[in-house]
Chain A
Amino acid sequence: MGAPAIVRQESRRAVSTGMAYAMLAALCYASTSVIARHLVTEFTQPLVTGFLATLVGISVMATYSVRDVRRDRLAPKRGFALMALAGIAGTAGITTNFFALTHAPVATVAPLLAASPLFALVLTHLFLQRLERVTRRLWIGAGLVVLGIALIALSNA
């Protein structure tokens, strides 16, 4: 087997591993959405839940990321700034969605949030061309997922 073939095989393995991680993350998020629903209906506000849960997350993450954070201390500042923006954008997205729900019904707002993978694909196409390609199959796949989520959101509205 030639070197390019080995590189291609390793790259495919990395992609498969990445997709398995995505599935694990989806499982975690699904269970947390059940817990979050219980918390905000029985005990407290979404903002309080989100803030305190993030503090728990930071405390746990700090204990097992301390060595890597030390190793990365000389990494370009740009890396930290981009990761901070990732955190702010994700948090601001969810918070904005909570505020949207105070102005419009769930049936209207939930399908809009479901469209976030399409925004991600458009932004990938615009800004990440150097790193990845969005093929027609990925567009169709994301479109079906968005449509499916919107239908589920509508059926539960």
Chain B
Amino acid sequence: MSEAMVGILLGILGAFLFGSSPIFARLGLQYVRTTTGTFTSLLAGSVLLGILAVPLHAREMLNLPVAALLWIALLGLLNFPLGRYFNFTAVRLAGVARATPILSTSTLFAVLFAIIFIDETPTLLTLIGGLLIVGGVVLTVSERK
């Protein structure tokens, strides 16, 4: 099997795993509160990451500069207690089918942040992509059934 094909198969597997996460969350949040569910999911995810990261990069972790640690703290704060908690609350209240496309607009927001704060210039493809995302979200949000 070619190197690129391995990459494609891993990419598809990654998308499948990432797409299955809200399904488990939707089912699990029938039994536990969102805060409890977020904490449990973080704990399980960190064990998996720890198994991979600690043996490979333990020394690097201990030698990180303070600036990096501060950025990591901000990242951890925004991504998990806030991002994931909001994500799971959205899945519990609106359902997977409505919440997932809206969550995917993070790509569009990331592009907007890059244009506003880093002065990046959007390409024509980026603009068309942005319009498609907005159109998709409008369809999702206006669904009343």
Residues on A close to B: CB < 8 A? 12, 14-19, 21-36, 38-39, 42-45, 47-58, 60-62, 64-65, 68-69, 71-72, 75-76, 78-97, 99-105, 108-109, 112-124, 127-128, 131-135, 137-138, 140-156
Contact = CB atoms under 8 A, between A and B. Distances in A.
Contact of A58 (B43, B64, B82, B144): B43
B35 A69 contact: yes
Given A26-B104, A61-B35, A142-B100, A89 B24 contact: yes
A52 B76 contact: yes
A52 B93 CA distance: 30
A51 B53 CA distance: 7
A129 B118 CA distance: 44
A156 B81 contact: no
A34 B113 contact: yes
Contacts of A19: 90, 94, 98-99, 102, 140-141
Contacts of A53: 72, 75-76, 79-80
Contacts of A150: 129
A39 to B, nearest CB: 5
